[in-house]
Structure 1
Amino acid sequence: MTDLKADLNVTQTYLPPLEEYIAYVREIWEEGWVTNNGRLVQQLEDQLKQFLGVPYLQYVSNGTVALQLALNALELKGKVLTTSYSYVATSSIIHWENCQPVFIDIHPETLCIDPNLIEERIDEHTTAILATHVYGYPCDVVAIDRIAKKHNLKVIYDGAHAFGVKLNGTPIYQYGDASTISFHATKVFHTVEGGAVITNDSTVDERIFLSKAFGHRGDEHYRLGINGKNSEFHAAMGLCNLPRVSEAILRRKQLSELYREQLADVPIRTLQPNNTLSYNYAYFPAIFEDYDTMQRVKQGMEAQGIFPRRYFYPALNQLPYHQGEPCPVAEDITQRVLCLPLHSTLKEDEVLFVSSVINQLF
């Protein structure tokens, strides 16, 4: 095993060869067009649509703005049913858009919103479902689609973790009325900061385009908008990274399988894709038997320079500005989960080191 002196964090940003990025920067300098839907932004959008297998995609400034634009473009009001187990942006943006989040507990196996609990929470004020593909593992999109059609609800999927994921060969972003992605520097594919909104509807796509650009094209104003655009410099990073995503996912898969092999005798639960899922190995969550065990292992790892993350914590219904109904499954999982270090530049020796520390702590 190599000498491991550096801290091992839960994620690490992949940076492409500097000369490749600089070549794009020179082009930007020569053209003098740095933002406002420039050539590289349009090129990245076209390549992302092809890679992800979707008809419409708007590249935006970050994944949170992507959620905001999706809710706005679908013209949602009233109550939005949402998961209690996700990153805080998922629920906060519902409030931000003057809607009311209604928290639904999660399925204990998938950790995604439990479709069996959705219908009982629908009333005359409910307009949409906002669900998260947790750690990139898909929601029960078939059941959610059936419920939404029955009750005339819109569906938005927070797919921040689901870049490149397919279910039974179908790209996961083809489901729902809109899907959002984060291209933050910690993600499987990143543009330093960035995100996207995906839809299958050309009218909704046009609303998103206008809404991210202050609501106007040229001098003609069509709707209320914000500044959700992204720059040529961010698009350049995406154009450097996109050709390397498939290789990065394969690397993540290899490291995840090594973790499972090394931790096979440890009393933790891990998530594993089945044969219907083309997964991207975005994270490696480990669910411990109880809170005390999780904390003991976390502290022991940190003492060895390993920094996992309690991702997600806390349950969103427990945040002081939400005051949601109890969601016992989500509240339980948040007390027991740690995401272990996983990224495409992680070394096998580092996975072995992390695993050996965990084994020793047990």
Structure 2
Amino acid sequence: MSFSDLIHLDPPPVASVPVTRPSLPPLEDLLPYLQDIWSSGQLTNGGFYVNRLEEELKVYLDVPNVSLVTNCTLGILLALRALGITGEVITSPYTFVGSANAIVLAGATPVFADIDPMTLNLSPKAVAEQITERTQAILAVHCYGIPCDVEALQAIADRHSIPLIYDAAHCFGVKVGGRSILDYGTCSIISFHATKVFNTFEGGAVFSSNPQLNQAIRRLANNGIIDEEKVNDVGLNAKMSELRAAIGLAQLPYVSDEIAKRLTLVDAYLEGLSGVRGLRFIQPPPNVAHNGYMFPIIVEAEYPITRDMLYENLKKNGISARRYFYPIVTDFPPFADAPSAGLEALAVARRAAKSVLCLPLFPSLDSAVQKHIIEIVRNPLR
């Protein structure tokens, strides 16, 4: 086949049902913000809308401080830099690679500990086993917005006098016993990426009850600049722009309704798939107010087909599911040689990576389409 033949091939078919679809506010809601930005001429550097979004998020999320940043990965990097972390950081291999990337880019070294088989979050027992004199911090991930064992992890951090940082990328609006999950640990970092429950197209925020830490993060996010004549730290440009903040402000009035729609879909999945042999669900405990970010299922040996066969089966029916997280971080070349990346040490994480599948979940998912998805999963051999 010649090159000219190749360029005329039809593109591969695209799944008609995505695994997620970004939420967008009505365009007419955004236009007044855009007109105001165009009139003011201020596009960045802590403008009116950035400050306003920070204040409104403090109220909505019930947290004392919000520092908006470019994205979650840079937020984690800034937190590590602000805390002076350059040694080993214990973290999860079952997460988006950005978590580990941020550790390396901050000049620290990731040490991977295994996960809990029920929550798929970092196992406190595994963390305790990895602690050495070189450990300077713990970076835990609230996977799918399901809270980690915050009490056990905090006890470990307190015992060794090290910071406990949370990658809370998935956690917008999540609460434990009425308290925001973002209010736990030394600090938490959230994502406002397009696929998240609340988005600013791209974006994120750092939360901490420590005013000095928040001040340091703000300074580092602005290239370490103190004033026109002083730069005392090596920072980077990780500020949020006025345009992204305006998008967030236009989104915020709708987010509670969006979360409610997500939770309705979660309930429909649970009802429709309950009793299916070989399927297990990862759901929060009763004291957690969740946000319905994703609907992950664990495909176990008793299920009639493998996880990957189900993934392909759905794809053939025009439905996009996601093997999330697959592969695990330590299977990527930059991290594969880490001493903590051994096969036996991360057995639970590797098993999860081979068995978890996230089904489509977004507020505009049609109920008839969801019933079709449920039918395919319930009867994979039909």
TM-score interval, smaller chain: over 0.9
2:269 alignment partner, one of 240, 252, 259: 259
Q: TM-score, normalised by structure 1?
A: 0.96
User: 1:99-138, aligned counterparts within 5 Å?
Assistant: 99-138=108-147
1:198 alignment partner, one of 207, 212, 223: 207
Q: CA deviation at 1:57?
A: 1.2
Q: CA deviation at 1:251?
A: 0.6
Q: Are 1:78 and 2:87 an aligned pair? A: yes
Q: Please name the residue that 1:208 is paired with.
A: 217
Q: Are 1:217 and 2:226 an aligned pair? A: yes
Once the two structures are overlaid, the 10-residue window that deviates more, 227-236 or 312-321, is 312-321
Where 1:242 maps in the other structure, the secondary structure is helix
Q: Are 1:93 and 2:102 an aligned pair? A: yes
User: 1:340-351, aligned counterparts within 5 Å?
Assistant: 340-351=359-370
Q: CA deviation at 1:93?
A: 1.2
1:24 alignment partner, one of 11, 15, 33: 33
Where 1:118 maps in the other structure, the secondary structure is helix
User: How many residues align structurally?
Assistant: 358
1:43 alignment partner, one of 27, 31, 52: 52
In 2: Cα distance, 1:14 partner to 1:288 partner: 29
Where 1:8 maps in the other structure, the secondary structure is coil
Question: Aligned AA for 2:294?
Answer: Y
Q: CA deviation at 1:222?
A: 3.1
* Contact 1:129–1:153, Cα closer than 8 Å, also in 2: yes
User: 1:102-181, aligned counterparts within 5 Å?
Assistant: 102-181=111-190
Q: CA deviation at 1:218?
A: 3.2
* Contact 2:15–2:320, Cα closer than 8 Å, also in 1: no
2:285 alignment partner, one of 254, 263, 274: 274
* Contact 2:147–2:181, Cα closer than 8 Å, also in 1: yes
Q: Please name the residue that 1:236 is paired with.
A: 246
1:316 alignment partner, one of 329, 335, 342: 329
Q: Are 1:325 and 2:336 an aligned pair? A: no
C-alpha distance after superposition, 1:187-215 (max 9, x if no partner): 00000000011111111101000000111
* Contact 1:73–1:207, Cα closer than 8 Å, also in 2: yes
Q: CA deviation at 1:273?
A: 2.4
* Contact 1:210–1:222, Cα closer than 8 Å, also in 2: no
Q: CA deviation at 1:221?
A: 2.1
Where 2:101 maps in the other structure, the secondary structure is helix
Q: Please name the residue that 1:297 is paired with.
A: 310
In 1: Cα distance, 2:281 partner to 2:143 partner: 13
In 2: Cα distance, 1:151 partner to 1:274 partner: 28
In 1: Cα distance, 2:123 partner to 2:285 partner: 19
Q: CA deviation at 1:293?
A: 1.1
Q: CA deviation at 1:6?
A: 7.0
C-alpha distance after superposition, 1:59-89 (max 9, x if no partner): 1111111111111111102100001211111
Q: CA deviation at 1:319?
A: 2.1
In 1: Cα distance, 2:240 partner to 2:180 partner: 24
Question: Aligned AA for 2:170?
Answer: H
Q: CA deviation at 1:34?
A: 0.9
1:307 alignment partner, one of 305, 316, 320: 320
Q: Please name the residue that 2:10 is paired with.
A: none
* Identical residues among aligned pairs (%): 40
Higher Rg of the two aligned structures:
2
In 1: Cα distance, 2:261 partner to 2:132 partner: 46
In 1: Cα distance, 2:218 partner to 2:200 partner: 19
Q: CA deviation at 1:100?
A: 1.0
Q: CA deviation at 1:361?
A: 1.2
Where 2:248 maps in the other structure, the secondary structure is helix
In 2: Cα distance, 1:6 partner to 1:325 partner: 36
Where 1:161 maps in the other structure, the secondary structure is coil
In 1: Cα distance, 2:111 partner to 2:232 partner: 31
Where 2:334 maps in the other structure, the secondary structure is coil
Question: Aligned AA for 2:358?
Answer: C
Where 2:235 maps in the other structure, the secondary structure is coil
* Contact 1:103–1:325, Cα closer than 8 Å, also in 2: no
Question: Aligned AA for 1:277?
Answer: V
Once the two structures are overlaid, the 10-residue window that deviates more, 130-139 or 60-69, is 60-69
Question: Aligned AA for 2:86?
Answer: K
Once the two structures are overlaid, the 10-residue window that deviates more, 272-281 or 175-184, is 272-281
Q: CA deviation at 1:265?
A: 3.3
C-alpha distance after superposition, 1:136-184 (max 9, x if no partner): 0001110111111111111100000011111111111111111101100
Question: Aligned AA for 1:325?
Answer: G
* Contact 2:15–2:315, Cα closer than 8 Å, also in 1: no
Which sections of structure 2, spanning at least 5 residues, go unmatched? Answer: 1-13
